[in-house]
Amino acid sequence: MIFAQKAVGLNPSPFDAWLVSRGVKTLALRMRQHHENALELATRLEDCRAVRWVRHPFLPSHPHYAVARRQMTGGSGIVTLELDADLEATKDFVSGLELFALAESLGGIESLVDHPASMTHASIPRPEREKVGILDGLVRLSVGIEHIDDLVADLDRGLRKAGLPPLV
């Protein structure tokens, strides 16, 4: 065990340990807000004409909704959606966002957006991507703890920039 700790860095520094200790104290509050914001956005996106479909485990339309409700108290802060848009319009949507930062790594307290077709899976030929459901309009949101009105306004701004029907 000691060899592994020293060889691969499993010993956190005192500062890292303090940061973890400090962060754990507000984890429940942050996770609750993360989930509440994501569910609110997912619900609104389901009613948006610019969106083909939305996935969030606490939406009744999710294929595993019953399992999620039985196993979890919160449905996460990740929302996946497919815009009714081509590649360029989807890129315009993503670039039109100001609060949602463009990122491939999701899961912080700030809101992030990922467009797999032009980011994480851009090197995969389109036919291969499409076989596994990674279409040009696919967008993943990691919804943070910002005020919900600001998040809604940002998604609306992105939709308008892309020339798509607004969210609000």
Model confidence over 69-95: pLDDT tens digits? 999 988 889 999 999 999 999 999 999
Do the domain assignments include residue 4?
Answer: no
Do the domain assignments include residue 6?
Answer: no
- Residue ranges for the chain with pLDDT beneath 50: none
Do the domain assignments include residue 105?
Answer: yes
Q: What is the pLDDT of residue 55?
A: 96
SS3 113: strand
Furthest-apart CA atoms within the chain: distance in Å: 58
Element (H, E) at 140: strand 138-142
List the CATH number of the domain containing 17: 3.90.1150.10
Question: Do residues 145 and 30 lie in contact, with contact meaning Cβ atoms separated by under 8 Å?
Answer: yes
Do the domain assignments include residue 97?
Answer: yes
Q: What is the pLDDT of residue 76?
A: 87
Using CA atoms, how far residue 19 sits from 15, 25, 26, in Å, is 6, 10, 12
How many structural domains compose the chain?
1
Domain enclosing residue 99, as ranges: 12-161
Do the domain assignments include residue 77?
Answer: yes
DSSP 46: H
Closest alpha carbon to 37 in 167, 164, 150, 138: 150
Do the domain assignments include residue 5?
Answer: no
Do the domain assignments include residue 166?
Answer: no
Do the domain assignments include residue 79?
Answer: yes
Residue 133, classified by CB atoms within 10 Å of its CB into exposed (0-12), middle (13-18) or buried (19+), is exposed
